[in-house]
Structure 1
Amino acid sequence: MSRRSAYDPGVPCWVDLASTDVPGSVRFYGDLFGWRADMVDDPAAGGYGMFVHEGSKVAGIGPVRDGGSASLWNTYVATDDAAALAGRVRDAGGTVVAEPMAVFDEGTMVALRAPDGSYAGAWQAAAHAGAELVNEPGAFCWNELCTRDAPAAERFYSAVFGWTSRTSDLGGMAYTEWVAGEAAVAGMIPMPDEAPAELPSFWLTYFAVADLDAALHAAADAGADVLTGVTEAPPGRFAQLIDPQGAAFGVIQLNETS
């Protein structure tokens, strides 16, 4: 289902970009995906806004917080009880970075840090359920944890989000799918050996594109760098990029059967 008005608990429901240069990010993703940014006209929103694609909210954007110096994409997973989830984070050995917090009348957010060092968020919906369009060109379609400690991450995220996991060999690399109910909802890979030692575990967001080659040309013209070149995978051809503000993300041309 591409258009969404609700998400089951345990399903990634929203992504947003914390940017060191919000106007620059708005220009970049507007050029790349055709997004429009609707900024919230309220000082209490702290400069937050919504990326809109073909009339649907697909992602958020705002400035980096608390003196952060790096831009990054954040992944949020749906929950029906933010307070209970925060308790599970602590019980599983994680850190609640931001306690359950009401965001106007839109919903309740929790920010967490897992024992493997990765950060994620959880969202209990009220007026805002999450992305209104997914799995289509111009919208996010997959979220993948790149981790330095797969066993710790597997224990933690299973306990917090209720996920089960299934791991298979993908070209000599262990690839884990996180499963909620009967559906795979996210992935996990080990941190590549060539990654800089200072790079912590992180969640990577993939966006669907209609034509990968055209998207890569557009991204390069708009100032993006290549993190990982074009790769063939069962869901489709993909690549990983770094936007001009330093945030990593993926683009994938999904196969019609995906």
Structure 2
Amino acid sequence: MVGHHGHFVWYELLTTDIAGAKAFYGEVVGWGARDASTPDLAYTLFSAGEAPVSGLMELPEEAIKMGATPRWVGYVAVDDVDETADRIRHLGGAVYVPPTDTNVGRISVVADPQTATLALINGLKLRTSQPAEFDKPGRVGWHELAAADWKKALAFYGELFGWQQTDDETPRLDSYRLFSADGQTIGGMSTKHPKVPVPFWLYYFNVGDIDVSAERVKSGGGLIFQGPTEVPGGNWIARCVDPQGAMFALQGLRSQANVGRTPAAEVPASELGWSAEWDGISSKGRLVVPKPKD
């Protein structure tokens, strides 16, 4: 993983319905799916073209008993998983899954000091194109943290991964800040809306037509709770929940046929970092923080 330290390089969906997730994301994002199971673990690879872009597995029964619900988890490449996990503890975070060798590499599932969950990885065994093809269809093109306090979160991740606030001339909300890894802007952070129960990471999947994909979310049994909403740069975004309750987002262009359409949900600009519409998904999109492992 030389040169990728501090970059998101892998993503996994933990769900309660493997077959349903394959069909849903195949329609919405256009991913293919192939089996990559081992004798010890049932595992599916989602792919964009020939390139694997994310993994799919059952939400462990132990996690369900602890109250965990379906979710997406992003993996950040680090030079040493064990050392980084120790640093997270030292900086006030938690380790939920200690450093472990798996079918995708040596990993650890952790949380920052504000309880937002993510994972660490070293030695990714898959020939993924992340982060090189960050802007290609089917890839994760944006990473967003809804934090309890974005300034403290940025300081934490800056010390841990070397992330830095991005200075650009694009107008932004005071509560929303872009961040970069090795000079590449890869996401944004904001202080979460009070109605959002806990801090968390949200991942944006690139799609060709935001309206087409948004319609497929709804027809596939998912929910759009914000958007499509236009953002600086000409893209449109939609924040969604899949049929099993995992939150994700879409980003893409709008076809000429849809340019004049009214967005599915209008949100005041002051609430771009999550809105009062959270009430509408609180029973389906709830987030539960597991207990850390010693």
Matched with 1:252 is 251
Matches within 5 A, 1:2-13: 8-13=4-9
Q: 2:172 and 2:185 mapped to 1: Cα distance?
A: 19
Q: Does 1:38 align with 2:37?
A: no
Match of 1:52 among 42, 47, 54: 47
Q: Secondary structure at the match of 1:219?
A: helix
Matched with 2:126 is 128
Structure 2 counterpart of 1:59, which letter?
Answer: S
Matched with 1:162 is 162
Q: CA contact under 8 A between 1:49 and 1:61: conserved in structure 2?
A: yes
Match of 1:61 among 39, 56, 61: 56
Structure 2 gaps of 5+ residues are 255-294
Which is greater in Rg?
Answer: 2
Q: 1:129 and 1:80 mapped to 2: Cα distance?
A: 18
Q: 2:3 and 2:29 mapped to 1: Cα distance?
A: 24
Q: Secondary structure at the match of 1:209?
A: strand
Q: 2:217 and 2:205 mapped to 1: Cα distance?
A: 13
Matched with 1:184 is 185
- Residues 1:36 and 1:129: Cα distance change in structure 2 (over 3 Å): closer
CA deviation string 1:14-47 (max 9, x = no partner): 11101121211111111212222222232312x2
Q: Does 1:117 align with 2:132?
A: no
Q: TM-score, normalised by structure 1?
A: 0.86
RMSD: 2.3
Structure 1 counterpart of 2:13, which letter?
Answer: L
Match of 1:108 among 106, 109, 134: 106
CA deviation string 1:112-161 (max 9, x = no partner): 11111100111112433645554222221111111122233223212221
Q: Secondary structure at the match of 2:113?
A: coil
Q: 1:167 and 1:130 mapped to 2: Cα distance?
A: 29
- Residues 1:126 and 1:206: Cα distance change in structure 2 (over 3 Å): closer
Q: CA contact under 8 A between 2:8 and 2:77: conserved in structure 1?
A: yes
Q: Secondary structure at the match of 1:25?
A: helix
Residue 95 of structure 1, CA deviation:
0.9
Matches within 5 A, 1:90-109: 90-104=89-103, 106-109=104-107
Q: CA contact under 8 A between 1:178 and 1:185: conserved in structure 2?
A: yes
Matches within 5 A, 1:209-228: 209-228=207-226
Structure 1 gaps of 5+ residues are none
Matched with 1:239 is 238
Structure 2 counterpart of 1:53, which letter?
Answer: A
Matched with 1:18 is 14
Q: CA contact under 8 A between 1:111 and 1:120: conserved in structure 2?
A: yes
Q: CA contact under 8 A between 2:29 and 2:206: conserved in structure 1?
A: no
Q: 1:188 and 1:85 mapped to 2: Cα distance?
A: 21
Residue 190 of structure 1, CA deviation:
1.7
Q: CA contact under 8 A between 1:16 and 1:75: conserved in structure 2?
A: yes
Q: 2:155 and 2:172 mapped to 1: Cα distance?
A: 24
Q: 1:6 and 1:215 mapped to 2: Cα distance?
A: 35
Structure 2 counterpart of 1:55, which letter?
Answer: E
Q: 2:12 and 2:124 mapped to 1: Cα distance?
A: 18
- Residues 1:14 and 1:131: Cα distance change in structure 2 (over 3 Å): farther
- Residues 1:103 and 1:254: Cα distance change in structure 2 (over 3 Å): farther
Match of 1:29 among 25, 28, 31: 25
Pick the structure with more strand per residue.
1
Structure 1 counterpart of 2:230, which letter?
Answer: E
Q: Does 1:229 align with 2:227?
A: yes
Residue 63 of structure 1, CA deviation:
1.1
Residue 167 of structure 1, CA deviation:
7.2
Query: How many pairs does the alignment contain?
Result: 246
